[in-house]
């Protein structure tokens, strides 16, 4: 299956600026991207990186042999141009910040029946989807999961929904780092640990702290 992996190459993960400087955010974003690409390949997908700016290519970043398409347009326009344009085509879209994605969770998405299969994010967004029909196009503005359900319904398309903690967790806010440390298994989790982050529990709530060393 062809799998498009959108990646914001310019100033990635700006909402982590309170805990990571610009260079750290870029490195961490590359680690998450590598984890996603590894999981896509292990699930039998053929990934293409859809990036907003040129990126260095190499096996260390999970990019060995991965086609790279540079498109600096808004996400909706760039992804729509990558969706099926001939009958019988299937294209999946998996965001590059799904640091908890595993081959198993992605295989479940890829195998979910429906002309459109959607993995919603926790905040109402769309973290991953599979498109099997020419009449479906994405719209990532606002509560995109709800919008994608509406777009599919208006086109008369069947929709499968994947309820997955791993695919629902995109890493945008400092609080999301705890999820990576608790559930992560790849480079992003290792990078956070090497950078001095650790899980904390205060008043029954899980968070993260960073050692001064």
pLDDT confidence bin for 179, thresholds 50/70/90: very high
| 168 membership: H or E segment, kind and range | helix 165-168
Q: What is the pLDDT of residues 33-63, one digit of tens each?
A: 999 999 999 999 999 999 999 998 766 678 8
Domain boundaries, the chain: 2-171
Structure tokens at 94: 């998996």
pLDDT band at 145 (very low <50, low <70, confident <90, very high): very high
* Lookup: tokens for 93: 């879209």
pLDDT (tens digit per residue) in 58-105: 666 788 899 999 999 999 999 999 999 999 999 999 999 999 999 999
Name the more confident of 57 and 176.
176
The rounded mean pLDDT for the chain is 95
CA dist 58 and 63 (Å) reads 5
The predicted pLDDT at position 56 comes to 81
Q: What pTM value is reported for the model?
A: 0.95
Segment 172-186 shows an average pLDDT of 95
What is the predicted pLDDT for the residue at 7? Answer: 97
Per-residue pLDDT averaged across 190-212, rounded?
A: 92
The pLDDT, as a whole number, for residue 91 is 98
* Three-state DSSP state, 124: coil
As a whole number, mean pLDDT of residues 6-10 equals 95
- In the CATH scheme, what architecture does the domain 2-171 have? Alpha-Beta Complex (3.90)
DSSP-based three-state secondary structure for 193: helix
């Amino acid at each position: 299956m062809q799998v498009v992996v959108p990646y914001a190459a310019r100033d990635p993960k700006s909402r982590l600026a309170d805990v990571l400087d610009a260079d750290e955010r870029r490195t961490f974003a590359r680690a998450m991207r590598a984890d996603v690409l590894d999981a896509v390949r292990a699930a039998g997908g053929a990934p293409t990186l859809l990036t907003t700016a040129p990126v260095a290519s190499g096996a260390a970043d999970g990019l060995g042999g991965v086609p790279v398409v540079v498109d600096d347009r808004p996400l909706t326009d760039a992804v729509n141009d990558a969706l099926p344009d001939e009958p019988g085509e299937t294209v999946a879209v998996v965001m590059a910040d799904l640091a908890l994605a595993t081959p198993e969770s992605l295989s479940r998405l890829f195998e979910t029946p429906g002309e459109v299969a959607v993995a919603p994010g926790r905040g109402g967004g769309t973290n991953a989807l599979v498109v099997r029909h020419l009449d479906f196009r994405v719209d990532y503005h606002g509560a995109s999961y709800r919008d994608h359900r509406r777009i599919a319904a208006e086109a008369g398309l069947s929709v499968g929904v994947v309820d997955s903690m791993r695919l629902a967790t995109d890493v945008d806010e400092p609080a999301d780092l705890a999820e990576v440390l608790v559930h992560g298994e790849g480079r992003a989790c290792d990078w956070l640990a090497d950078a001095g982050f650790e899980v904390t529990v205060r008043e029954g709530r899980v968070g993260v702290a960073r050692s001064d060393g």
